[in-house]
Amino acid sequence: MSGAPRVALVGGGPAGAVAARVLARRGLAVTVLEAHAAPPQKVGETLPPGLTPLLRHLGLETWLERDGHLRSQGNRALWGSQRAEESPFLANPFGNGWHVDRRRFESRLAETAREEGADWHWGARLASCTRAGRGWRLTVLREGWREILEVDFVADATGRHARLARRLGARRVCYDRLTGLTGLLESPMPAADTYTLVEATPGGWWYSALLADGRLAVAFLTDGDLLEKPLRQADPAAWWQLLRQSAATRERVEGHGYQGKTPLRVLPAETSRLDTIVGDGWIALGDAAAAYDPLSSHGVASAMGSGFYGGHAIADLLAGRDDARLAYLDLLQRAFGTCLDLQKEHYARETRWPDAPFWRRRQAAGYGI
């Protein structure tokens, strides 16, 4: 292959989009292969104020308001007690957070990656990835056609599934079995409260956050093996019955007449990582490399940070700077270790139901190690 080194990013999303921008700006030829035909519908995401410096660096902060995302005032938690504790963002040096519509947000990220020069393909599914000399030969299925793409480096940005990395021999290490039952609720009289609400219950915990269009993103988090069959099958009646056993979450939903108009979804939410994050000619980004319990609020922020530093690591590795491998690994390992410590500390604060399986597991010695 001649000219600039070629990189294929398998998977788009926040990690893939940010990495594509970085690589294109550094003069590499970047192709993004996103299996979905468009950004999939997701429950929503809260971007914490700490992500603001990266958003500004990437020129994305101004787009958040232009695209109609909602400013977040702070967090509210019923955790360890019946009394709600509030953590407003008013005094945060980075300002407010944001409740984003994930489909709209990821569309914007993809658009800005294309503007930087990335070759972005929606509906492009990877069929195979094999060695071709020092590079790779990818077989891609797109719009009924089979295409061959030869590149110097590949990156996995396929989320928790880590489809490419696992093909290349990496193994997923899971620390728990956390699962989310998620829904987007609608109301003719939506709430105005933009605080993120987290509420602990005997069987797990509830998350809810308002979106800019007035819908309320609501999720119940517990271990998958603790779910009864109707909940595992996303039965709405069972989900609503469970919600009515909460206090603040129920008040938020029923007090504003929220109803479910779209099917519930059962999604993995475990803390997990790959045992190999960087290999010979490949790298894992975002949730593919390391995925966090939603309690940490690290989701999109971690993915974008990993995409940023991972993109620079790819460019440096292709330029012959092998120390970039260790630098990227060290960054992700330190971030993951810090998150595990904070996660363990936070779960340990909830002691009201010591005999409940969900909480007993999280308070057991060695959880998160």
Q: Between these two residues, 43 and 229, which has the higher pLDDT value?
A: 229
Tell whether 358 is covered by a domain: no
Does residue 108 sit in the same domain as residue 164? yes
Residue 31 sits in a domain of what CATH number? 3.50.50.60
Q: In the structure, what pLDDT confidence band is assigned to residue 368 with cuts at 50, 70 and 90?
A: very low
Q: Which pLDDT does position 255 carry in this prediction?
A: 94
Q: Do both 196 and 261 map to the same domain?
A: yes
Range of the domain at 107: 6-44+101-174+271-341
> Per the domain annotation, does 1 fall within a domain?
no
Give the tens place of pLDDT for each residue, 254-293.
999 999 988 999 999 999 999 999 999 999 999 999 999 9
What is the rounded average pLDDT of the residues 103-127?
Answer: 95
Assess whether pLDDT exceeds 50 at residue 369: no
Tokens of residue 254, six digits: 């029923």
Mean pLDDT of the chain: 93
Number of domains composing the chain: 2
Q: Indicate the residue among 269, 300, 329 that finishes a domain.
A: 269
Q: Is residue 364 part of a domain?
A: no
Checking if the pLDDT of 25 tops 70, the result is yes
CATH code: domain of residue 78: 3.30.9.100
Residue at 348 is within a domain: no
Same domain, 18 and 79: no
Residue 216 sits in the same domain as residue 288: no
253 and 185, same domain (yes or no): yes
Q: Single out the residue in 269, 288, 315 at which a domain terminates.
A: 269
Whether 252 is in a domain gets the answer yes
With a cut of 90, say whether residue 207 has pLDDT above it. Answer: yes
Residue ending a domain, among 253, 269, 285, is: 269
